Structures are given as structure tokens and as C-alpha cells.
Amino acid sequence: MAKLGKSAQNEQEGKETVEFFKDLDREALNTERFLEKYSKPLGIAFGVLVLGVLGFFGYKQFVVAPKNAEAVKSFLAAQKNLSEGKDKEALGGKSAANPGFVGTYNDYSGTSVGQLSAYNAGLLKFKEGKFQEAYDLLDKFSSDNKTLVAMKYGAMADAKSGLNKNDEALSLLDKAATASDDPYTTYYFTRKAGILALGLKKNTEAKKYFSTIDEKYQDYDNGMSDSYIEMTKYY
């Protein structure tokens, strides 16, 4: 095909430009008509969206933030009593004047500090020998921190052992051993699970735990896993 002359080419490009802007005009007109037609429902939807965003930030600022501040204040008061050896006062839960860890959890369970209060209260209940109450409080604790979750399962296992429910304790120790990415925490609860399994005459399970230590955590074990593996053969 012969090439267009320069003037013909310019004319062609000019036509294309005009058509392009006509298309834009038509598109703009269509958009305007759409907005005209649906302005009311669009306005309502936008208003709902804005109210939702404002409501969320308002809730965070005026409800969550003050609750967090109150929870921290209550938690620190309980922690102060604990550091001074006043376990009963630290546990609290008997009066509004001294909420302690129990009251802090009851009032602010939706906050991270409230959750940590349940954990601390559970440990104090365990110290008192109230194993079921300790277990129930520890069971309420949740966290994104995997090491703390492992510690929770470990403490719950101790509570079950205190209730002479060692099979359940072993199951919880197994959870504790697999909950964390921290190698020492994993080693500690794996070893604890192995010793309990050995005491329950569950030698196959005990060997599994000690073999895991022998394969992965020798740096923490000082060769003790070999002795435990031998014990599973004769104990």
C-alpha cells in the first residue's frame, strides 16, 4: 500500500484526535448521566462508608483506647503487689477497690492486658493448690506470642497433673512442645513430656520425645537424652 503524503497523514491524525475527544465527551456524558441517575443511592452508600470508617476510628479512640489504659493501670497495680510478695492482693477479684489479676481479666478480657491477667491469675491459683481454677483461668488466656502459648499449655499440664489427670497432662505437654518456634522452649517441654510418658509407662511415646531431643536439641541436653532412651528399654 502506498504511503500517505505528509498533508494526508496530518489530516488523518487530526481526524483520529477529534474522534478520540468525541469518545471522551461521550464517556463523560455517560458518567454524568449515571451519577445523575444514581446520585441518591450512591450518596447513601458513601455516607454509610464514611460513617463506618468514622465509627471504627471513634470506637478505637473512645472505647478501646480508654479500656486499654484502664486495663494497664489495673494490671500494674496487681503486678506491684506480686513483686512485693502479696500474692492474695495480686490475685484480687474480691473487691472493686482491688481488682487484681482476676478482676482485670473479668473487666477487660477483650484486651491483651486482660488476657495476660488471666495467665498470671492462673499461675497464682496453681501456687495456692487450686488446680482446677488454675486450669480454667489459663485456658482463657490467648496470645499471638507462640512462646507464651507454649508456656500456657505447660502450666495447664501442671494443673492437670495436680488433679492426677496425667494422661491429659501429657497431651497438653505435647501441645506445649509444638506450639513455639523457640528451640529452648520446644526442648524444655519435649523433655518434660518424655519424662512424664516414662512415668506413665508409655515407653514408645517417651522414646519418641527423647529421640527428637537427640536429633534436634543436643546443645541443650548435654547427652541426657541417650540415657533416657536407654531407660525406655528397661524401665
Report yes or no: 78 and 92 within 8 Å, Cβ to Cβ. yes
List the beta strands (DSSP E) in 4-161.
Answer: none
Report yes or no: 171 and 179 within 8 Å, Cβ to Cβ. no
Domains and CATH numbers, the chain: 41-131 (no CATH), 143-234 (1.25.40.10)
For residue 133, the tally of other CB atoms under 10 A from its CB is: 17
Res 112: pLDDT: 86
Q: 102 CB contacts (<8 Å, ≥6 apart)?
A: 91, 92, 93, 117, 121, 137
pLDDT grade for 179, boundaries at 50, 70 and 90: very high
pLDDT in tens, 123-168: 999 999 999 999 999 999 998 999 999 999 999 999 999 999 999 9
For residue 103, the tally of other CB atoms under 10 A from its CB is: 23
Q: What is the pTM of this model?
A: 0.70
Between 80 and 30, the higher pLDDT residue: 80
